[in-house]
Structure 1
Amino acid sequence: MICILLVAGHGAVLEAQIKNDETGLYSHLTGIPKALLPGIGGKKILDFWWEAVNMRQLFTEVYLVTNADKYKHYERWATANDFPVENVVNDGSTTLEDRLGAVADLELAIRSRKLQDDIMVIAGDMLCADQNFDIAQVIRFFRSKPGELMIYYELEEGESSSSRGIVEVCPDTNRITGFLEKPQAGLTESRLASVVFYCIQKETLTHMSDFLSHKPEARDRTFGQFWEWLINEKQLDVFGMKLPTGFQLIGQVGLSDYTKWLTHYSTKKQDNPAKPITCRSYARVGLMGNPSDGFNGKTIAMSISNFWAEVTLVESQTLVLVPHPLNDPTEFGSLQDLFCISRKEGYLGGLRLLQATCKKFYQFCSKQGIALTKQNFTLKYDTNIPRQVGLAGSSAIVSATLKCLMKFYNITDNDLPKPIRANFILNVETDELFITAGLQDRVVQVYEGLIYMDFSRKLMEEQGYGDYVSLDMSDLPLFWLAYLSDPSDSGRIHSNIRQRWLAGEPVVLEAMRSFAELTDQARNLSLLRSAIQDRDWNRLAQLMDHNFELRRSVYTDESLGPGNLRMVQLAKQFGSAVKLPGSGGAVVGLCLDQARLVEMREAFQEAGCVFCILAPYNPTAMAVGGQR
């Protein structure tokens, strides 16, 4: 592949304003081409692009197309930066009036150098917020698509879409479905702006002479008009790839544009060179329907602030995953110490979750056409979620890691919508680590709060995810949680139910339908304001008890295990509604008689269980209070 950097523009406005600036602050920049103006950290704007594409394993040659007026500047730059001077192409123009036009400049380089390879073309005089992106990832994505490739970015708040070429992109295929050159307001809702950063197949290059023959005026030889012509008239397949960073100094800009963005990026880099990113995801309890989330059923679950997983990411020279001193032990006091810890904690800590999330994240972005920067980072995690009691501890670590990666790489909700994010987290665990899991935990940890989920087969097959609704969390009753201090492995309790469900066993199918019906009844309690105001928690308590008995009938006492049954029986002695909040090892209760709460707590503690009052996590309240 060959890369061509275009710097043949005549910056008439910027040059004139620098020349006429009365402050004298910019007199040393008089006559200097825009691409050779100082960028971030003292580097010239063109230096960043040259560093990005100066890779012999990717490009056989790199060319620079300039004009006669600024040729000597670029010749001197080439000599100083180990750029082959013979690859600097002079288009012969000296003013804006006698310019060739961007497409003609590209065609000149291809024709004069007799180039017969695929081409990457980049405007070398535009300023990118972070040019340390993975150029190899762009080329791999281009090779995977049967057509041309355009790079685009999402306009920042305040940027007008009428100042850019705007693309409309199919989110499923990455195909460019529309290109509008500086559209007027209302013509499109898209805020995805195209920049002069393209990959073009060698077969498509032959269309350039045809295009230019129809466009004798330089003002009509822009890339925007070229792409409109290719897409609309030639009906070529063109695909889009997103860079999650902004671009500036595009086209004819002035001194204020240059100084504003230079100051913005420089200050940003100096003031915040490596500020840590810390994200939390919370444990969840299933209040109704569990475990029907894995059986095309319905469920209600709630995130709780008592227990959480926290991941911290900080930029670093190399990519480092830090083992947790307790959950990922690599040093032991003795062989007996190793034996005891391994027997109680198992062999699989959280480090594998971090690694699998990072691997899947890169894979997702590559497939979705998102080019990531080549920044490295150090990841570490902490968690207080009890292990192996069905409170979604593993998925909380994955969820928090994903939040950090999205913030670090500026991946938005549009790039990775919440329903797809929940699927992503599930896939990390099931596809990469072969953890038995369903969608419920991941949905609650992505949406947060009290969530109703419908995983009906029709929804899952038609859109790939369920119907997720956030419920009102005001006036909730008192929920409590108890869990075994020495639980069995979370997930074993599912026994052979999935195989029986897949085989169509009537008793299992009927139980799953009943779970869904219970969930809908509970949802109605949450959604009907009158029921909440009347505090009809007796009905909710009955539904929770019924939920457990239904589960007990289909899973059997042997599968549930003596520890879980003992906790359920103990709760019932104190008149509390009770059910399993997850796959086993814990119970969640609804306490209607708070006068017996202290007595019940002591009874659970005497039985060797950990007991706590649940603190529901309300994301709306946290956002208002500024504590997210």
Structure 2
Amino acid sequence: MGTQGTSLDSASRAVEHKAFARVGLLGNPSDVYYGRTISFTLGNFWASVRLQPSEELVIKPHPTHDLVQFRSLDHLVNRLNNEGYYGGVRLLMAICKVFHNYCKDNKIDIHGKKFTLSYDTNIPRQTGLSGSSAIVCAALSCLLDFYRVRHLIKVEVRPNLVLAAEKELGIVAGLQDRVAQVYGGLVYMDFSKEYMDDLGHGIYTPMDISLLPPLYLIYAENPSDSGKVHSTVRQRWLSGDEFIISSMIEVANIAKEGRKTLLEKDYSKLAKLMNHNFDLRRSMFGDDALGALNIKMVEVARKVGAASKFTGSGGAVVAFCPDGPPQVKLLEDECRKAGFIVVPVEVVPSCLNAEEL
């Protein structure tokens, strides 16, 4: 999978994988509307999962993210307000179930040995960087290697397994994030209905990460206003709303055009496409659904002439400064004034081997 930091300790036979945060560069949220997207994996943040053979099957709680012991009632409430009710244990359990059932349904023989799964993550919560799916993706990679079935589960099917595990938990999402994290690097994705109906997945085309210009990630340290991002758009699309349908087609076409733009390294055009992507999302979802804090992040970047859009459904923004370092300095100053964190994007290349691709 597009996980990295993979190791196989010959003495203990432990398996460890990393899966990185992802940035939706163009085309989101059309992935759940038979559209197209371009995404890449973000080396700044990742989740890691370790699988250790053991006498019993154990899912280890994380000492911070799955905290069950508190100093006081105030501590418990503050923890829930900041981190929510759920850590990563449920994610690990869900992918174990989905993996087991997939292997059983497809007559893939997996031995009866048991293991202990543990995880860690530094992906900021509620930033739209796909922190949950990163944990699931890294865990799936560990299971593939532990049971030696990587060659039996096609790479284009693996994002479906990651998504299925999250759906077990009621997490509403599309395939884009999981494809990016499974493949790693920069990926163009086509989720056209004919592919989804005939194949059960889209057509995924890796691209050279050197095609990307320098990009910047903007996010809030304590996101509190994420909005109800998908709002009524899904229902309106299903009901045949012409505005939503035509707008979503336009968003998907931005990714198609963006692929050509990247291949030609036409970065002034890229900036226009990024801005147009966000403007279309805003016209469909409305400001109340997107959330004031999220919109402010975009507007802070645009204030200095940078192109900007959501990395996902809100919580973080990807920005591009077409005018170079002086504009980057202005962006950093404005973000600091607004209380936002801004960091240069580190793009992680795919580590899939030639056989998997």
- Shared fold (TM-score greater than 0.5)? yes
1:140-172 CA distance string (max 9 Å, x none): xxxxxxxxxxxxxxxxxxxxxxxxxxxxxxxxx
> Structure 1 counterpart of 2:192, which letter?
S
Deviation at 1:486, TM superposition (A): 2.0
Asked if 1:582 is matched to 2:312, the reply is: yes
Gaps of 5+ in 2: 1-8
Letter of the aligned partner of 1:524 in structure 2? K
Change (3 A) 1:493 1:585: same
**Structure 2 vs 1, CA of residues 491 and 278 (structure 1 numbering), >3 Å: closer, same or farther?**
farther
- Residue 405 and residue 489 in structure 1: after superposition, are their counterparts in 2 closer, same or farther (change >3 A)? farther
Q: 1:429 to 1:403 in 2, by over 3 A?
A: same
TM superposition shift of 1:521: 0.7
After TM superposition, list the pairs within 5 Å mapping 1:243-282 onto structure 2.
272-282=10-20
Of 10, 20, 30, 1:292 maps to 30
Shift of 1:490: 6.2
- Contact 1:390-1:490 within 8 A present in 2 as well: no
Structure 1 residue corresponding to 2:103, chosen from 365, 385, 389: 365
Residue 606 of structure 1, CA deviation: 2.7
Q: Distance in 1 between matches of 2:126 and 2:230?
A: 13
Separation (CA, whole Å) in 2 of partners of 1:571 and 1:501: 30
Equivalent residue for 2:271?
541
Q: Does 1:560 align with 2:296?
A: no
Deviations 1:362-391 (A, max 9, x none): 111111112221111111100111111111
Give the counterpart of 2:214 among 455, 464, 478: 478
Q: Distance in 1 between matches of 2:256 and 2:29?
A: 15
2:348 corresponds to which of 599, 614, 617:
617
Amino acid at match of 1:550: L
Say what the alpha-carbon RMSD is for the aligned residues.
1.7
Q: Distance in 2 between matches of 1:607 and 1:333?
A: 33
| Selected match of 1:312 from 50, 54, 57 | 50
Q: Does 1:463 align with 2:193?
A: no
CA distance in 2, matches of 1:441, 1:558: 24
Q: How does 1:209-608 map to 2 (within 5 A)?
A: 272-413=10-151, 415-430=152-167, 432-488=168-224, 492-527=228-263, 531-532=264-265, 536-593=266-323, 594-608=325-339
1:449–1:470 contact (8 Å) kept in structure 2? yes
Distance 2:302 2:115 in 1: 50
CA deviation after TM superposition for structure 1 residue 569, in Å: 1.1
- The structural deviation recorded for 1:623 is 7.8
2:10 and 2:339 map into 1 onto residues whose CA distance is 48
Extract structure 1 runs of 4+ deviating beyond 6 A: none
* In 2: Cα distance, 1:489 partner to 1:342 partner: 16
Alignment-derived partner of residue 58 in structure 1? none
User: Structure 1, residues 465-499: CA drift from partner, whole Å, max 9, x if none?
Assistant: 11110112224211001112222486831112111
**Is the Cα contact below 8 Å between 1:491 and 1:583 reproduced in 2?**
no
Residue type at the aligned position of 1:312: R
| 1:301-327 Cα distance to aligned partner (Å, 9 max, x none) | 111111111001111111111111111
User: How many angstroms apart in 1 are the aligned matches of 2:104 and 2:211?
Assistant: 45
The structure with the larger Rg is: 1
Shift of residue 516 of structure 1? 1.3
Per the alignment, in what secondary structure is the counterpart of residue 328 of structure 1? coil
Q: How many residues align?
A: 345
- Cα contact 1:277–1:404 (8 A) shared by 2: yes
Change (3 A) 1:436 1:561: same
After superposition, give the CA deviation of every residue in 1:558-590 in whole Å (9 maximum; x if it has no partner): 111110111111101111000011011111111
Preserved contact between residue 227 and residue 290 of structure 2 (Cα < 8 Å) = no
Aligned to 2:4: none
Q: Deviations over 1:411-430 (max 9, x none)?
A: 123x1101111111111111
> In the TM superposition, what is the alpha-carbon distance from 1:618 to its structure 2 partner?
1.1
Call closer, same or farther: CA 1:321–1:285 in 2, change over 3 Å: same
List per-residue Cα deviations over 1:522-549 (Å, max 9, x = no partner): 011223xxx23xxx20010011011111
Secondary structure at the counterpart of residue 286 of structure 2: helix
**Structure 1: tracts of 5 or more residues without a match:** 1-270
Relative to 1, partners in 2 of residues 1:521 and 1:385: Cα closer, same or farther, differing over 3 Å?
same
Partners of 1:471 and 1:526 within 8 A in 2: no
* 3-state DSSP of counterpart to 2:311: coil
Q: Is the 8 A contact 1:299 1:453 kept in 2?
A: yes
Contact 2:28/2:252 (CA < 8 Å) preserved in 1? no
Percent identical residues: 45
Counterpart of 1:495, as a letter, is S
Output the CA distance in 2 between the equivalents of 1:308 and 1:541.
Answer: 27
Q: Which amino acid aligns with 1:423?
A: N
The structure showing larger relative contact order (alpha-carbon pairs under 8 Å, at least 6 residues apart) is 2
The 3 A distance-change label for structure 1 pair 289 and 379 is same
